[in-house]
Amino acid sequence: MSFDPQEMITRFKERAGAVRKRPLPPVAGEERQQFIAQANTDFQDFAMIGDAQASLDDGILTLRIDLRPADKRP
């Protein structure tokens, strides 16, 4: 079985989308805020990796993620 970094990137994009569609559980108050905060963190993490440029060289996976604002990118 070979590793395809682009397939991994695609899975992270799908996970980011799934987090956005995740329904809120029937919780209230502080627990609700914790759930929302975790969902936001999950989305950010998955979306960042989903936007990465991946390369696999000599067994080393490198992810390049451009965090500059869109108007500052080349």
pLDDT higher at 64 or 70: 64
Average pLDDT over residues 22-35: 88
| pLDDT tens-digit readout, 34-63 | 999 999 999 999 999 999 999 999 989 999
Q: Where along the chain do its domains lie?
A: 5-69
Contact 5, 61 (CB under 8 A): yes
Q: What would you measure as the largest C-alpha separation in the chain, in angstroms?
A: 49
SS3 string, the chain, reads: CCCCHHHHHHHHHHHHHHHHHCCCCCCCHHHHHHHHHHHHHHHHHHHHHHCCEEEEECCEEEEECCCCCHHHCC
- Provide the sign of the torsion angle of the four alpha carbons 9, 13, 14, 19, taken in this order: positive
Provide the pLDDT for residue 3.
87
Average pLDDT of the chain? Answer: 92
